Amino acid sequence: MKHAFTLGEIAEKIGATLQGDANCVIARLATLANAKAGDLSFCVANRHDELQHTLATAVIVPDGVAASHVPNLLKVKDPYLAYAQVSQWFATCPKQTGVHPTAVIDATAQIHATASVGANAVIEAGVKLHANVVIGPLCYVGENTEIGEGSRLYARVSVYHGVHIGKRAVIHSGAVIGSDGFGFAEERGQFVKIAQLGSVQIADDVEIGANTTIDRGALDNTVICNGVKLDNQIQIAHNVVLGEHTAMAGMSGVAGSTHIGKYCRIGGAAMIGGHLTITDKVFLSGSSMVTRSIHQSGIYSSGIPARPNAIWKRNVARFQRLDAVFSQLKKMGLSTQVDSDKE
């Protein structure tokens, strides 16, 4: 892959207005603070002070930015989006081709001629790997699983039986797709396992972070729709549906049978209960806990930010007396909220 571009090439690819030398060659991206001569950086709206001190040769800036000491400016509507596009051209992901001789591949598996399988990977019976699929070292792909064109599994990804993964998926190391959902019935204090008979359906252009787990459905499938982006160490329980282009940050989790709409943004360590419905374009702040369905788009938050320990202990003590205080206010006729549970 080419890793050096002229500013003229870059400007054309991202639709930027170039103020400077179109023949200047860029071979590296860097932050404003750490850029050196020959580097390309980017500047978002709240970083203009850093722009005045950067040593970058060229900077991607918002359209309205006036001239600065930087010799070359690429002016665009959305510098962060332009940076995202440019970053892909400088990516240095190791290239993997062919089938490694130590890979174990069942005779009934269908491996496209352009697909590759890494060292010590296991491909079970009935698996279909489409064009340009990359299966990293030590991966496991279970029986009758299908992986779509251009998808990549990094090292040590485990995909259970009967899973469908669409085109251009990226699944990072340690992810587990299609493990059993947490389903048990209780009989006289003991648990009887509920067989998880569904699977996992992953659509196109999905990215799944390292050590994230997606459980298979109990009867219906767990469904991850087009363009969903999942960070590292996320738990998706059985029969969850994640709508198109929803993104979830690390350490968040969704309990079973919850449906989350399109274009939602779930902050880190957010916890979402089971059997809920969350509509489109809901934004959950980090560490939010959702115990009821959300039917209106918007920003939702919960949790208590960290405070100095002495203040925290005092607040906890007061919180424990809150119900008694509320009851007293009701008796005095000073409360306008008769039943706080109906909020």
Quick: pLDDT tens for 272-315.
999 999 999 999 999 999 999 999 999 999 988 889 999 999 99
Query: Is residue 181 over pLDDT 90?
Result: yes
What number is the average pLDDT over the span 96-112?
Answer: 96
pLDDT at residue number 331 = 84
Q: What is the 3-state secondary structure (H, E, C) of the chain?
A: CCCCEEHHHHHHHHCCEEECCCCCEECEECCCCCCCCCEEEECCHHHHHHHCCCCCCEEEEECCCCCCCCCEEEEECCHHHHHHHHHHHCCCCCCCCCECCCCEECCCCEECCCCEECCCCEECCCCEECCCCEECCCCEECCCCEECCCCEECCCCEECCCCEECCCCEECCCCEEEECCCCEEEECCEEEECCCCCCEEECCCCEECCCCEEECCCCCCEEECCCCEECCCCEECCCCEECCCCEECCCCEECCCCEECCCCEECCCCEECCCCEECCCEEECCCCEECCCECCCEEECCCCCCCCHHHHHHHHHHHHCHHHHHHHHHHCCCCCCCCHHHC
Per-domain residue ranges for the chain? 5-89, 104-300, 312-342
What is the set of active-site residues? Answer: 238
Longest dimension (CA), the chain: 81
pLDDT at residue number 302 = 93
Query: Is residue 214 over pLDDT 90?
Result: yes
pLDDT at residue number 338 = 47
Query: Is residue 96 over pLDDT 90?
Result: no
pLDDT at residue number 79 = 95
pLDDT at residue number 335 = 63
Query: Is residue 339 over pLDDT 60?
Result: no
Query: Is residue 119 over pLDDT 80?
Result: yes
> Confidence band (pLDDT; 50, 70, 90) for 332?
confident
Query: Is residue 212 over pLDDT 80?
Result: yes
Same fold, 5-89 and 104-300: no
| pLDDT, averaged across the chain | 94
pTM of the model: 0.91
Of 18-22, 70-74, 93-97, 212-216, the one with minimum mean pLDDT is: 93-97
- Residue % of the chain over a pLDDT of 90: 83
Residue 54 CB neighbours (<10 A):
22
Query: Is residue 343 over pLDDT 90?
Result: no
Are the C-beta atoms of 205 and 226 separated by less than 8 Å?
A: yes
CATH architecture under which domain 104-300 falls: 3 Solenoid (2.160)
Find, among 243, 238, 276, the residue nearest to 262 by Cα.
243
Long-range contacts for 287-291 (Cβ within 8 Å, ≥24 apart)? none
* Token output for 59: 């900077």
As assigned by CATH, the class of the 5-89 domain is alpha beta
Looking at per-residue pLDDT, the higher value among 4 and 99 belongs to 99
Quick: pLDDT tens for 47-75.
667 888 899 999 999 998 876 789 999 99
Query: Is residue 329 over pLDDT 90?
Result: no
